[in-house]
Amino acid sequence: QLTEQTSKLVIRQITNEGDSDIFLWVVQATVRPANWTASRLISENGLLDRTIGVITRCDRLEMHEVDDLRNWLDPSFAGDDRLQLQPHGFVGIASKVFPQKDNESFHSLMHRQAVAEVQSFNEIGMQDEISEDRASIKALMSKVSSVYAKHVITTWLPGTVNRLLAAWTLCCEELKALGLPRCSGALHGDALAQLMEAASEEATRRLKPLVGLAKQLFLTSSLQPLRAYLEKELETISKSELELVLSKTLLDDSCSDLCLNLPIKEVHEAWLEQAFALLAEDEGSFRLQRFPEFVKKLKSHLESNVPKLAKEAVAQDIKKYLKRVFDPTVSVDMSMVCGKFDECDDAKATIRFKVDRIVGTC
């Protein structure tokens, strides 16, 4: 049995540690399980689910004792004297130690002992236990690493993140309340005015590219698609033969259909996304992030003033202009600018548009 002093030390260590701690229970294969003195401590203190059993000196067993060792390593075996260490179970290791040779590195020594350990288990017919990661130092290290990784993922990381989040939340609350960077004294007067002026200048510098971006988005997302669309539709209409009597009606209908699906974007979401990205940049000596209320107001103003194209007005202007172009009764001047009708003998006509000029005017 454990001496009273050692027993108290172990119990104090067990009870003082947290619920996430894992314990190694090391016993000798050459000692009968009934004499494994730590069994009572593990059972009485509810440590069965937080203990990894390590059975040493497996290489010193006789062949007739191997089956008993297998029973202890088998997690599904349930004997009368068996403590169910679930979910970690037991791992068997050999205990033969080799002396270090002259000029032999520690790594080479460990490798030689590992090879010898595997050979020891092979000699007693326990190759399958090595394959199942229930025997060898490698299996023990794998089990310990797995338990540690699980602890890091399920306990340490969440706890650390929560502590960091609490500290960050407190910092954010302080910044929000102040609206200013933390400093040794409250800013006022000229100092405050200069600071706010610097913040405004920094915001202006960051947002200056948005003017050019709005023009570029209008060009690529509206103007270019609109030009391609009008060119295609006008070329199609110009190839059609029209009965002179019905030409005005047919052209009016063509104009309405053409203007129905004009590819014009009213708002460009990419502009606002780029604006927010510019405000979030963490470069330079002046950090707008230290002024959360100021940045919040900037974002609000940006959302309220997103560049918009008056889609309905543009569509109406284009439709009005095209109706004049499509009107077969237009003046000679208009016809010369935009197109002309080629009359045919069978009371039909083909309209010829100056597509580039029409599209350019639109």
Between 238 and 122, the more confident residue is 122
Q: How large is the average pLDDT for residues 156-169?
A: 86
Q: How large is the average pLDDT for residues 168-193?
A: 57
Q: How large is the average pLDDT for residues 272-282?
A: 82
Per-residue pLDDT for 265 more than 80?
no
* Pick from 95, 86, 4, 91: nearest CA to 41: 4
| pLDDT score at 185 | 46
Q: How confident is the model at residue 336 (pLDDT cuts 50, 70, 90)?
A: very low
Between 17 and 208, the more confident residue is 208
As a three-state string, the secondary structure of the chain is CCCHHHHHHHHHHHHHCCCCCCEEEEEECCCCHHHCCCHHHHHHCCCHHHEEEEEECHHHCCHHHHHHHHHHHCCCCCCCCCCCCCCCCEEECCCCCCCCCCCCCHHHHHHHHHHHHHHHHHHCCCHHHHHCCCECHHHHHHHHHHHHHHHHHHHHHHHHHHHHHHHHHHHHHHHHHHCCCCCCCCCCCHHHHHHHHHHHHHHHHHHCHHHHHHHHHHHHHHHHHHHHHHHHHHHHHHCCEEEHHHHHHHHHHHHHHHHHCCCCCCECHHHHHHHHHHHHCCCCCCCHHHCHHHHHHHHHHHHHCCCECCHHHHHHHHHHHHHHHHCCCCCHHHHHHHEEEEECCCCEEEEEECHHHHHHHC
| pLDDT score at 91 | 92
| pLDDT score at 311 | 77
Q: How large is the average pLDDT for residues 249-259?
A: 74
Between 68 and 237, the more confident residue is 68
Residue 89 bridge partners (DSSP): none
Assigned token pair, 78: 């349930």
| pLDDT score at 148 | 86
For 88-123, write each residue's pLDDT tens digit: 889 999 887 888 888 889 889 888 888 888 888 888
Q: Provide the whole-model pTM.
A: 0.43
Rounded Cα distance between 286 and 244, Å, is: 71
Express as a percent the part of the chain with pLDDT over 70.
76
Which CA distances in Å does 209 have to 83, 193, 199, 212, 225?
71, 26, 17, 6, 23
Residues 6+ apart with CB under 8 A from 303: 272
Per-residue pLDDT for 337 more than 50?
no
* Pick from 84, 65, 64: nearest CA to 74: 84
Q: How confident is the model at residue 334 (pLDDT cuts 50, 70, 90)?
A: very low
Q: How large is the average pLDDT for residues 222-232?
A: 82
Residues 6+ apart with CB under 8 A from 350: 238, 239, 240, 241, 242, 341, 342, 344
Q: How confident is the model at residue 245 (pLDDT cuts 50, 70, 90)?
A: very low
Rounded Cα distance between 29 and 152, Å, is: 32
Average of per-residue pLDDT values in the chain: 76
Q: How large is the average pLDDT for residues 277-305?
A: 79
